[in-house]
Structure 1
Amino acid sequence: MDLDVRLDGFDEPIGRLVSNQRGAVSFAYDGEYLRRPDALGISLSLPLQEEPFDDYSTRAYFDNLLQERDTARADIIAKYRLANDDIVGILYYLGKDCAGAISVLPQGAPPTKVPGDLAQDYRPYSDVELEAIVLALHRREPLPSELADPSPLAGVQSKIAVAVLPDGRIAEPINGAPTTHILKVPRERSEREAAHEHDAMALSANLGFDTATTELMKIAGVPVLRVERFDRRLEATRVTRLHQEDFCQALGLHARQKYQRPDRGDNGYSAQAIRGILDRTVEPAAERSRFLRVTLFDILIGNVDGHAKNFALFHLAGGRVMTTPRYDVIPTMLDRGTTDEFAYRLGPASSLDELDGAALDTFLADLGFSSAAGRKRILSKALDQVMGSLAAQIDTLGRTNKNFADLLATNIRTLCYNLGRDIPVEARDRDTYVR
């Protein structure tokens, strides 16, 4: 099977995805595309080159384009009797709806992803339709068939991609136009999830991190989080997609390898692997410093789900890459049913209880901070900044979200105890959050 790979913004296919009779797959860029001065590599793991990429590298990237919730995938496999690892056969049916700016289509098929005009390429949902969508997601039921998600999303949360028109109405795209926002709908009995993520994203923005904008709203009585997409550009009423990839794709890892686990050794997701990505960005030193502060921030707010699909890169002309704004910032430790294990180890530490000065020093060394004296100074400065900023927001957070404020204060106290640091006054006397 031979499929066209398209990138929104380019009129012609940029490459071909091929499987042979033995089931091996490969990807190769189109020669004309390679000669374009504005050609973008679709992944750090698939850089611009004439030679085709092997089966492993190709599978890792293109498998990551499909949803992690694999209901649609399972349906296609069953309907057409495909093998579970027949990634090209599966993309033949699902490739037009890949996440992001990439689409995979039958050879010669017209593009299914094109820029959109908010004035003509979107149909507003009626109140009844929007309520039906939210209630179905809230109850974990299938969406009404006539309201199927036009832009499937990765991840395990229940969500749908939509567009927000200039007058505030929520709409579905038509004619292959991009969405502009994501609606995240909490499951029944977990309605506080939306507020938790909204507060966490606000804390991230307040600390100075470039963070996707969120708004908490109610639809059909359900609290819904509306997230502005960071991978879109809006100029007047014209909407275009920006090409990005997550760290899993950049590292050439399959989606199931998004966490670091001991049995995978050093070849999967790890601090050293993250350094390899950051070293290839346009500002490696600034990106390493930012990632250190992001890591401390996530630990303190109880977001231990910083796996390889929760960080991403923009691809820019000339082979340049830079990290994207923050997204999916969630205090996972507020859910007592989740693990407190880090997504990847910081030195030998796999949880906050194990995180001490030696572990953090190893983590900084793994990120590329070479000088021991420099690491000590850089860590102290980062801790002062992140811990001080978060501590200053505890009381305000506690007025509307006591559990989150208590968790934040508890984590600050734990880390200060582990590091022999003075506990900020705002965190000293709050209740302990017990998981």
Structure 2
Amino acid sequence: MKRASEASRRGLDVRVSNVRVGSLARDAGGDLRFTADRAWLEDGQHPPLGLTFLQDPAPRVQRGLVPVWFENLLPERGTPMHRWICQQHGLRERDEAALLQVLGHDLPGAVEVSGDIDEREDEATEAPEDGRFRFSLAGMQLKFSMLLEGDRLSLPLRGETGHWIVKVPGNELPQVPEVEAATLTWAEAAGFATPRHRVMPLKALAGIDAARLGQAHCVLAVERFDRRADTRVHQEDFAQALEIRPSDKYGARNRAPTYDSLARLVRDACGIEGQKEFIRRVAFVVASGNSDAHLKNWSFQWGASHRPRLSPCYDQVATISWPEFGWNAAGGAELALTLGRSKRFGELDRSRLRLFAERAGAPDGEAWFLDALDQIRSAWSGLEAQAPARMRDALLEHWQKVPVLWDMGGLPGAR
């Protein structure tokens, strides 16, 4: 057993773009505390770790868990991906400090975590191809960070990072990869920044036990926009920016962010042009019938300055394509967050848009939203034939039932 004095020196170094920004270490009560590096603070927090630290660089601690900002880097607790990685590494599912330690080399953005927070067996002798996952991706479905070579997807070796996110659908919802790919293609055609993506057969995946992948016959591969060649691009999702736990990504009773308040957040962080782009993307969320645009499906990207920009669009899915998330759901189709004091798609009329713009502090917000809808509607005309039938049918109904969409003339073929 190691001496107590030696154990007290254990900790995790936190780096962004290879610059040490702080450390994670156990406090006297055993909780994991993040403390910013003094030299980094004196250098004006360059490069930035996150919006919340620029606002308040004080130490962070969350009783019994890793600090919230870092918790958001990990696969969400209770998901198949979280369980699978913990099983592979012999970790207790509640031991997120150990999970952060083993996944620290391939986290979202340009943040890396290294060191030894708790006494663990030395892994230095493990072979690079030991088959255990060492990447971290948030979300409910199975996701893998992989390398794409031709038509083959493979897991990175130890020390490497993947450049493509591969999303494996569950058994509950049919055609998820096809619907998401069609939604992303629509967003791109409407003028939004989107990553490259492609639907690929399940047999294209190498090094993963197919028995763990359910009945999927294809996957969606999306190029990572936080990886460029041999460099990393730093980012943080909105749950991190607001220091809200992943489990509260749809809001909590004591704290419920809205699209209105997020529009203000983006204005303050990115400026007016960033706010305009955010409002245009909210218009796409409404137009595509996406009920899952929660806090973790929006991100800031960081460059050399202390003013971030919005990342490309991601996790864009026309969820109304499935009856349980569409107009057959109890109470009708709903947004993930409130817009103009309502979540119900059926209540989104021009008065809601005006209220949204007012609460967002965006005098031109209504005009931006409507202009985006016009471009989105026009873009659909050239893509309708490529979308799965379930998506086409659901969208025609959706554009008939959402007042602000119907006022635009509905989708082609809806009247």
TM-score surpassing 0.5?
Answer: yes
Q: Is the 8 A contact 1:34 1:48 kept in 2?
A: no
Give the 3 Å change call, closer, same or farther, for CA 419–233 of structure 1 in structure 2. closer
Question: In the TM superposition, what is the alpha-carbon distance from 1:190 to its structure 2 partner?
Answer: 4.0
2:320 to 333, 344, 353: 333
Give the 3 Å change call, closer, same or farther, for CA 402–79 of structure 1 in structure 2. closer
Give the 3 Å change call, closer, same or farther, for CA 305–41 of structure 1 in structure 2. same
Corresponding residue of 2:138: 154
SS at match of 1:45: helix
Corresponding residue of 2:236: 245
Give the 3 Å change call, closer, same or farther, for CA 64–7 of structure 1 in structure 2. same
Deviations 1:15-55 (A, max 9, x none): 11122122444322222334557822211112287643454
Q: Is the 8 A contact 1:269 1:344 kept in 2?
A: yes
1:185-200 to 2 correspondences below 5 Å: 185-188=168-171, 190-200=173-183
Give the 3 Å change call, closer, same or farther, for CA 76–62 of structure 1 in structure 2. farther
Q: Is the 8 A contact 2:12 2:101 kept in 1?
A: no
Give the 3 Å change call, closer, same or farther, for CA 7–401 of structure 1 in structure 2. same
Q: Is the 8 A contact 2:106 2:112 kept in 1?
A: yes
- Which deviates more from structure 2 when the two are superposed, residues 57-66 or residues 339-348? 57-66
Tell me which stretches of 4 or more aligned residues in structure 1 moved more than 6 Å. none
Corresponding residue of 1:288: 275
| Separation (CA, whole Å) in 1 of partners of 2:233 and 2:173 | 32
2:165 to 182, 195, 207: 182
Q: Is the 8 A contact 2:258 2:337 kept in 1?
A: yes
Question: In the TM superposition, what is the alpha-carbon distance from 1:329 to its structure 2 partner?
Answer: 0.7
Q: Is the 8 A contact 1:186 1:224 kept in 2?
A: yes
- What amino acid is the match of 2:412? E
1:233 to 228, 234, 246: 228
Is 2:217 aligned against 1:222? yes
Corresponding residue of 1:353: 346
Give the 3 Å change call, closer, same or farther, for CA 203–274 of structure 1 in structure 2. same
Corresponding residue of 1:209: 192
* Structure 1: gaps (5+ residues): 110-122, 124-144, 430-435
Q: Is the 8 A contact 1:96 1:104 kept in 2?
A: yes
Corresponding residue of 1:164: 148
Of all paired residues, the percent bearing the same amino acid is 24
Question: In the TM superposition, what is the alpha-carbon distance from 1:231 to its structure 2 partner?
Answer: 0.8
Q: Is the 8 A contact 1:8 1:241 kept in 2?
A: no
- What amino acid is the match of 2:362? F
Give the 3 Å change call, closer, same or farther, for CA 326–253 of structure 1 in structure 2. same
Q: Is the 8 A contact 1:150 1:172 kept in 2?
A: no
Corresponding residue of 1:130: none
Corresponding residue of 1:299: 286
Corresponding residue of 1:269: 257
Give the 3 Å change call, closer, same or farther, for CA 168–378 of structure 1 in structure 2. closer
SS at match of 1:33: helix
SS at match of 1:387: helix
Is 2:83 aligned against 1:71? yes
SS at match of 1:150: coil
Is 2:397 aligned against 1:402? no
Deviations 1:118-162 (A, max 9, x none): xxxxx9xxxxxxxxxxxxxxxxxxxxx953333132101122111
| Separation (CA, whole Å) in 2 of partners of 1:367 and 1:76 | 45
| Separation (CA, whole Å) in 2 of partners of 1:233 and 1:271 | 30
| Separation (CA, whole Å) in 1 of partners of 2:287 and 2:272 | 23
SS at match of 2:178: helix
Give the 3 Å change call, closer, same or farther, for CA 345–249 of structure 1 in structure 2. same
SS at match of 1:149: coil
- What amino acid is the match of 1:152? S
Q: Is the 8 A contact 1:303 1:333 kept in 2?
A: yes
| Separation (CA, whole Å) in 2 of partners of 1:159 and 1:87 | 18
What do you get for the CA RMSD once the two structures are aligned?
3.3
| Separation (CA, whole Å) in 1 of partners of 2:91 and 2:167 | 29
TM-score (norm 2): 0.79
SS at match of 1:350: strand
- What amino acid is the match of 1:279? R
| Separation (CA, whole Å) in 1 of partners of 2:260 and 2:187 | 24
TM-score (norm 1): 0.76
- What amino acid is the match of 2:195? A
Question: In the TM superposition, what is the alpha-carbon distance from 1:8 to its structure 2 partner?
Answer: 5.3
Give the 3 Å change call, closer, same or farther, for CA 181–78 of structure 1 in structure 2. closer
Question: In the TM superposition, what is the alpha-carbon distance from 1:378 to its structure 2 partner?
Answer: 3.9
- What amino acid is the match of 1:66? L
Question: In the TM superposition, what is the alpha-carbon distance from 1:313 to its structure 2 partner?
Answer: 0.8
- What amino acid is the match of 2:299? A
* Structure 2: gaps (5+ residues): 1-7, 119-127, 204-215
Q: Is the 8 A contact 1:40 1:48 kept in 2?
A: no
